[in-house]
Chain A
């Protein structure tokens, strides 16, 4: 009995000593999920005052570089690391956190524009240059299309959004794949460049006849009309969080989650979606930080998902969460798994 009390006292003392010495976990990377991550870190810190996160949204490229260089506890990226990057950080584990969607916004006096993959390809290759192009009219019989030029607007800064969108174009168009390819910055055949999602939104808003790609959240917040796009199953789908989550629901995920979600099967799936990832080491060296990080990840894929929708991010579908649970359980700190029973 006394022994037990002593033990309890010792444990309590250890607990308070822990609380007095906060754990600071640092990460950096993608800008796209930054609003959600900020919310997560604040909420998680409220639940666990001893753990503080410091996240710098310096861009996915910088996140991967610094994670590889070992200056960060975790990285964040929109596009998964490629083989070359992985070879420099072989112990990197990708943890998808939420889904993002890239949508087409336009400036024209009608809503409900429908686009087939061929039309999207044609517009961004500069081949469909007018709104009343016969091919446009065939797909949109109910809309009075103006006899005006289409002004293509795209991102000028390197970005994960561009990566996802060009990956989509490369997946539907052999010509795009061969001429332009997919990347965070590409050599665009046509169009004007705007800096950031807000730059593209701004250009589209004030240039009649413009069409551009932005994150779903920006389209919603700016109340710009969005185009419906025909998905792989042949349905015209309007962009939404549900349609974005659906893109990841029917897909066979590889063990490392490094998969492109563009043009997936599924009758309601939005065709231009992607995961955004946190990058962690398979075996973490620092006990306190490693424990904190693994428990946070567990929280993020469960309770954390509830914060996604209000901030216009699509939550992970259930099958993905189930698979991720195993991945997180397999993470180690100094060669040992982290007990997650009390994780919150």
Chain B
């Protein structure tokens, strides 16, 4: 963001008394901010503590390694393993990002660079509307509209063209990793595209003009001047989207098939961490079953933290890249 020196307010002369009051105000304000910031840490800590307490029976009974790496999920016999859920969460989120990121960047470029002025406002408005739809509506739409389309159109197409890959093999039932990933893509699209749009707006005009003056076409100016400058911001946008994808519950559980299994094929039914918690928590009675569900919550917590840390490192890496040098 270009700094604007003239925006700094200069205190009016002869207002010493007011300044003292405002210093007190400053201190109160600072204390309040520290309290707000600290509250986030305290809440996160309490969540972890409570999850740890609830999940203790499961960790003790099954052992950390078995709970994390087993693929069994049998509440009748108190056998619990988190692996199919971790796998399902990661695979569906990966599909979502892979599909949503290019589309979102394209959308944002359309909104900030390429689109005709008259179209920009309605398109931006529609994206915002998309963000306001409750996830259960996405889930129902997915189940009744998207899943049949995937089964009858998309899956035959993928099987015909890319069927040699193990990713696109097996019976076509519609529900599964692919359906969940695609619905997540639609759901995180507004987040990624609107943040990316804001990021693109911060690209200094001089950069674009410079590129154009050097004889670049519009596309070249975007590729060589705009996108490199905006790259860290776009990464941040993707990260926000990923966060939503990892934790999304309702829409995913309606289209993923809810089978605690691990399959290489994206056509196969799977399960995700939030989905199984939502599904089984209300009727789980045994301490181990409840504990295992709380343990899954901890795993989800850890997974989100790890991916966030990883993405932060990535952002730092790209921020030190050539894009920043240009800026």
- List the interface of chain A (C-beta within 8 A of B): 58-62, 64-65, 85, 149, 151, 156-160, 180-188, 191-195, 199, 202-203, 206-207
| A-B contacts, 12 listed (Cβ < 8 Å) | A62-B283, A151-B173, A156-B258, A156-B279, A158-B283, A182-B76, A187-B74, A191-B259, A192-B258, A199-B254, A202-B140, A202-B143
B121 to chain A, nearest CB (A): 37
Other A-B pairs, 15, CB within 8 Å; known A61-B282, A187-B77: A60-B283, A62-B282, A62-B283, A64-B285, A85-B285, A185-B279, A186-B74, A187-B75, A187-B79, A192-B175, A193-B257, A193-B258, A193-B269, A202-B144, A202-B254
From B257, which residue of chain A is reached at the shortest CB distance? A192
Instruction: Check B76–A203 contact: CB distance below 8 A.
Output: no
Partner of B75, one of A59, A64, A185: A185
Instruction: Check A186–B279 contact: CB distance below 8 A.
Output: no
From B285, which residue of chain A is reached at the shortest CB distance? A61
- Please indicate the chain A residues that have their CB under 8 angstroms from the CB of B275 in the complex: 156
A193 to B282, CA, bound (A): 16
A203 to B179, CA, bound (A): 14
A224 to chain B, nearest CB (A): 15
With contact pairs A183-B75, A187-B73, A206-B143 given, residues A61 and B283 touching in the complex (Cβ less than 8 Å): yes
Q: Does B148 contact A (CB under 8 A)?
A: yes
Instruction: Check B269–A192 contact: CB distance below 8 A.
Output: yes
Q: Does B147 contact A (CB under 8 A)?
A: yes
- Please indicate the chain A residues that have their CB under 8 angstroms from the CB of B257 in the complex: 192-193
Q: Does B297 contact A (CB under 8 A)?
A: no
A183 to B75, CA, bound (A): 8
- Chain B contact residues: over half helix, strand or loop, or mixed? mixed
Partner of A192, one of B72, B144, B259, B282: B259
- List the interface of chain B (C-beta within 8 A of A): 72-77, 79, 140, 143-144, 147-148, 151, 171, 173-175, 253-254, 257-260, 269, 271, 275, 278-285, 289
A246 to B104, CA, bound (A): 59
Instruction: Check B173–A187 contact: CB distance below 8 A.
Output: no
A213 to B247, CA, bound (A): 29
A61 to B289, CA, bound (A): 12
- Please indicate the chain B residues that have their CB under 8 angstroms from the CB of A184 in the complex: 75, 283-285
- Please indicate the chain A residues that have their CB under 8 angstroms from the CB of B283 in the complex: 59-62, 157-160, 184-185
From B145, which residue of chain A is reached at the shortest CB distance? A206
Partner of B254, one of A58, A85, A185, A195: A195
Instruction: Check A195–B282 contact: CB distance below 8 A.
Output: no
From B174, which residue of chain A is reached at the shortest CB distance? A207
Partner of A186, one of B75, B140, B171: B75
A274 to chain B, nearest CB (A): 15
From A184, which residue of chain B is reached at the shortest CB distance? B283
- Please indicate the chain B residues that have their CB under 8 angstroms from the CB of A186 in the complex: 74-76
A67 to chain B, nearest CB (A): 12
Instruction: Check A58–B253 contact: CB distance below 8 A.
Output: no
B85 to chain A, nearest CB (A): 12
With contact pairs A61-B285, A158-B279 given, residues A207 and B259 touching in the complex (Cβ less than 8 Å): no
- Please indicate the chain B residues that have their CB under 8 angstroms from the CB of A195 in the complex: 253-254, 258, 278-279
- Please indicate the chain A residues that have their CB under 8 angstroms from the CB of B254 in the complex: 194-195, 199, 202
From A195, which residue of chain B is reached at the shortest CB distance? B253
From A151, which residue of chain B is reached at the shortest CB distance? B173
A58 to B144, CA, bound (A): 27
B172 to chain A, nearest CB (A): 11
A261 to chain B, nearest CB (A): 20
Partner of B284, one of A61, A85, A180, A187: A61
- Please indicate the chain A residues that have their CB under 8 angstroms from the CB of B278 in the complex: 157, 195
Interface centre among B72, B147, B151, B175 (most CB of A within 10 A): B175
With contact pairs A193-B258, A195-B258, A203-B143 given, residues A157 and B282 touching in the complex (Cβ less than 8 Å): yes
- Please indicate the chain B residues that have their CB under 8 angstroms from the CB of A199 in the complex: 143, 254
From B289, which residue of chain A is reached at the shortest CB distance? A185
A199 to B72, CA, bound (A): 24
With contact pairs A199-B254, A206-B144 given, residues A59 and B282 touching in the complex (Cβ less than 8 Å): yes
Instruction: Check A192–B76 contact: CB distance below 8 A.
Output: no
- Please indicate the chain A residues that have their CB under 8 angstroms from the CB of B76 in the complex: 180-183, 185-187
A73 to B140, CA, bound (A): 36
A212 to B167, CA, bound (A): 28
From A163, which residue of chain B is reached at the shortest CB distance? B283
From B275, which residue of chain A is reached at the shortest CB distance? A156
- Please indicate the chain A residues that have their CB under 8 angstroms from the CB of B271 in the complex: 193
User: Closest 6 interchain pairs by CB?
Assistant: A193-B258, A158-B283, A156-B258, A59-B282, A187-B74, A181-B76
From B256, which residue of chain A is reached at the shortest CB distance? A193
